[in-house]
Amino acid sequence: MDDSKILNLFFERSQTAIFELSEKYGSVCLQIAKNILKNQQDSEECVNDAFLAVWNSVPPNRPVSLQAYILKTVRNYALKRYHANRAQKRNSHYDIAFEELENCLQTEDDAHGQYTAAELAVAMQTFLSSLDSENRILFVRRYWYGDSVAALAEATGRTPHFISVRLARTREKLKKYLRKEQLL
């Protein structure tokens, strides 16, 4: 079913809206949650929570992209659950991905590194648009969707070493770009 028709069902407050949303985006939502949480039950709960959140927010909101709206909502719920589950535990695959990016964004001088989230978001969008398609996809799948290096290697037919080197080079380019833009 077309996204605009699904949104219309939400505006009509039809229970079919959730079913259609689940039919169209349920599997990708569950995959995103599982990439972050590595737990089927927690992932299913996050997806259900995200569907409820969309039910409660549409209307009055009418997202431009229903897919982006639901995927971002699922990701946010999964990250909240992830942080709650891992409050005392460290070194999971997602912690490692966060640490990779954190190391890229750190500065020696904390006062110099005071930038707003909005400035960083614009800089990240500009940086990502400057990358070739393969590097952009690898970067987003690793640091937004939480795919492991092994999963990226399998999906692309490359070796894990190749993916790790590619990601390291992209992080280094990001660091140079942020320095050039005086955000680091």
Q: What is the mean pLDDT of residues 154-170?
A: 95
Tell me the percentage of the chain whose pLDDT exceeds 70. Answer: 85
pLDDT bucket at 11, cuts 50 / 70 / 90: very high
* DSSP sequence for 81-124: HHHHHTSS----HHHHHHHHHHHHH--S-TTTT---HHHHHHHH
Crossing angle of helices 66-85 and 40-57, rounded to 10°: 130
Average pLDDT, the chain: 87
Q: Is 85 exposed, middle or buried (0-12, 13-18, 19+ CB in 10 A)?
A: middle
Q: Could you tell me the residue ranges of all domains in the chain?
A: 3-85, 93-180
Tokens found for residue 66 = 């229903």
| Helix %, strand %, coil % of the chain (to 5) | 75, 0, 25
CA distance 177 to 183: 9
Give the pLDDT score at 102.
73
The answer to whether 17 and 5 are in contact (CB under 8 A) is no
The model's pLDDT over 131-161, given as tens digits with 9 standing for 90+, comes to 999 999 999 999 888 888 999 999 999 999 9
Residue 110 has pLDDT above 70, yes or no: no
The model's pLDDT over 66-108, given as tens digits with 9 standing for 90+, comes to 999 999 999 999 999 988 887 655 545 666 677 777 767 655 4
- CATH number 3.40.190.10 is the correct assignment for the domain at 93-180: no
Identify the CATH number of the domain defined by range 3-85.
1.10.1740.10
